[in-house]
Structure formats: structure tokens, C-alpha cells
Amino acid sequence: MNEIKGVLFDLDGVITDTAEYHYEAWKKLAEELDIPFDREFNEKLKGVGRMESLNLILEHGGKELSETDKEYYASKKNDHYKTMISDITPNDLLPGILEFMEEVKSSGIKTALASSSKNAQPVIERLGITHLLDEVVDASKIERGKPNPEIFLKAAEQLRQPASGCVGVEDAQAGVEAIKSAGMFALGVGESLKKADWIVRDTTELNLEDLRQRFA
């Protein structure tokens, strides 16, 4: 029977839902650039890093910016986002995720955060879950964002666990692809996801016993 050595959690859409804050921050920036932006287009940005997201928005609007201007606008979007998330509390944890994380941690399995957000650390501190994560890997520690597997491989490396013994938990298709490319078991949160090894409707369905049975 295969044994789970590590569980690697995405942040947005898995632990807490800051997707709305990202949407509002990108929408505000797009409006400043006179680029149309709606929820349908926003789906393309899920699981994608900040600069890659900005490039997609600029392409969508048929605009070109210098690298200096791109850095300015990416930073401005981040300022919008940080203002919006300043009021996050443990009440913003998604239903069932705290119980699942506690179950995993108490079983002795190593845990890590693998998030495309550079604001991951302050968010998990406000959520009160830093004690449930052995390592935190965010966009500031990698060169290539999802769907590249680098962030998950880096998290497994920091946990000193083999990729084949790790489970990645994601709600975005780009994240699932990154997990599979890393040679890990993909646990997808959301029925629209494809190619995950186990797909749950939402975080209330997560439990360690079912995960172990599927991982085996």
C-alpha cells in the first residue's frame, strides 16, 4: 500500500476564497488601462502568476507596455489586492478545510503551501493556520508559475519527501496540470476540473481516509 508522505495545498480556492478579491483588483486595474474585463475572462487567470496574468490582460486588450510599466501595473494590482485582504480572519477559511488540515497534520504527514500568490504568508497568518504548514512556497521563491511543476517540486524538496509520495490539492486546471507534471497525486476541488486523480465537489468532502484509499 502506497503511503502519503506529504500534502501540498494551494491557497486560493482551497484554503480560503480570495478569488473575488483578485477579480476585483484585476478589474480595477483593467479599467484604469481601458481594457474590458469580466468574470468569464477572469477564469483564464486562475492559478496563474501576477505577471503572466497582466500579460494575458494586455493581450486581451490589444495593448503593449514596456517592462517598466508592466512592473508598475503589476505592483499596483498587488496594492489593490493587499488593501482588500487586510480584513481576512479565520472565519474566511473554506468549510471543512481546517478539519482536513488538522487531520493530515495529526497523522504525521508533512504539509506545505504551494501558492502562486506572493501574499500567501500574511494571508495564512491572518487565517491562523501557520502551525498546520511545515513549509510555505510562494511565487517569490520560484521562477516559473503554474502549470509548470516547479512550485510543487520545490515544496516536496523543502519537505524532503519524494514527489511520488506527495498529494497536491488544487482548484485550478493550471494547478492540476502542474501537480501531474510533477509526478504527484492530484486532488482537485471543483467538478469542472479534468485529469485530477480524485475530484471533490468542494472542501467539505475532503477527508484523509478517502484520500488514502485512492492514493493506494
Q: How far is CA 9 from CA 112, 115, 136, in A?
A: 6, 8, 9
For the segment 54-106, what is each residue's pLDDT rounded down to a tens digit?
A: 999 999 999 999 999 999 999 999 999 889 888 899 999 999 999 999 999 99
Domains of the chain: 6-17+89-215 (3.40.50.1000), 19-85 (1.10.150.240)
Residue pair 165/7 in contact by the 8 Å Cβ criterion: no
Please, what's the largest Cα pairwise distance for the chain?
Answer: 56
How far, rounded to the nearest angstrom, does the alpha carbon of residue 174 sit from its chain's CA centroid?
Answer: 10
For the segment 128-174, what is each residue's pLDDT rounded down to a tens digit?
A: 999 999 999 998 888 888 899 999 999 999 999 999 999 999 999 99
Cα angle 28, 10, 23; round to 5: 10
For the segment 110-122, what is each residue's pLDDT rounded down to a tens digit?
A: 999 999 888 899 9
DSSP conformational letter for 94:
P
For the segment 204-216, what is each residue's pLDDT rounded down to a tens digit?
A: 999 999 999 999 8
SS3 state of residue 100: helix
Nine cell digits for residue 200: 471533490
Q: How far is CA 39 from CA 8, 11, 22, 29, 185, in A?
A: 28, 20, 11, 14, 30
For the segment 17-34, what is each residue's pLDDT rounded down to a tens digit?
A: 987 888 999 999 999 999
12 is catalytic: yes
Closest CA to 8 of 122, 126, 146, 201: 146
Instruction: Name the pTM for this structure.
Output: 0.83
**pLDDT of amino acid 117:** 84
**pLDDT of amino acid 1:** 62
How far, rounded to the nearest angstrom, does the alpha carbon of residue 23 sit from its chain's CA centroid?
Answer: 15
34 is catalytic: no
**pLDDT of amino acid 145:** 83
